[in-house]
Amino acid sequence: MEMSDNLILVPLAEGFEETEAIAIVDVLRRASLEVVTASLAKKLVMGAHGVAVEADLLWDEVDQSEVHAIVLPGGMPGTTNLRDDPRVLELVRRLSDEGRLTAAVCAAPLVLAEAGVLDGGVPFTCHPSTRPLLEAHSPLEGPRVILSGSVITSQGPGTALEFALACVEHLVGGERAGELAEAMMVPRGG
């Protein structure tokens, strides 16, 4: 698979939240963005609810220098598998240091916290079940999607389309995100 220097990476780890991962990839691709899914271990990855998805590439097949942004689906134990992988943390740190998009939904802000992205009081939200684990970083209960510089977070499967559209807006602008929202019948705002 040929990649460009504007690659958006969506990592898939065993136990990922299927709705979030598919919504993210679908919406970003509808915006004509180059998105690749990468599995940490094997091409066929089992989601948290028994839905298997074949990743585009294995993690080690991705040229990390071409990755422009990372969008992390949540789910358990997918999030802990991402959080516990030093390769994922290294990429998240690099992208954050470069001011690139680091986005996480549901439980995946745990990965951002582990990588140090949420240090210094970055406003963020997450799934209600994850808030106690992130208490030291002061997660917010709302709004459903929070944009803080190059960090975008959201709360769960029910917010996945809004989250993905916020990523589109950050990457290519509000006009394109609005067009997609209208075409997909996704309400905009808070």
Count CB-CB contacts under 10 A for residue 52.
Answer: 9
Length of the chain counted residue by residue: 190
Q: Calculate Rg over the CA atoms of the chain.
A: 15
Enumerate the β-bridge partners of residue 157.
none
| 155, 126 contact by CB (below 8 A) | yes
C-alpha to C-alpha distance for 173 and 86, rounded to whole angstroms: 32
Active site residue 106: yes
Structure tokens at 67: 């990755």
Structure tokens at 140: 């917010």
CA nearest neighbour of 114 among 98, 145, 91, 147: 91
- Please tell me which residue in 12, 106, 115, 117 is annotated as part of the active site: 106
Question: Which residues, 6+ apart, have CB-to-CB distance to 59 below 8 Å?
Answer: 11, 38, 39, 40, 41, 85, 87, 88
Instruction: Give the chain's largest Cα–Cα span.
Output: 41
For the annotated catalytic residues, the residue numbers are 106
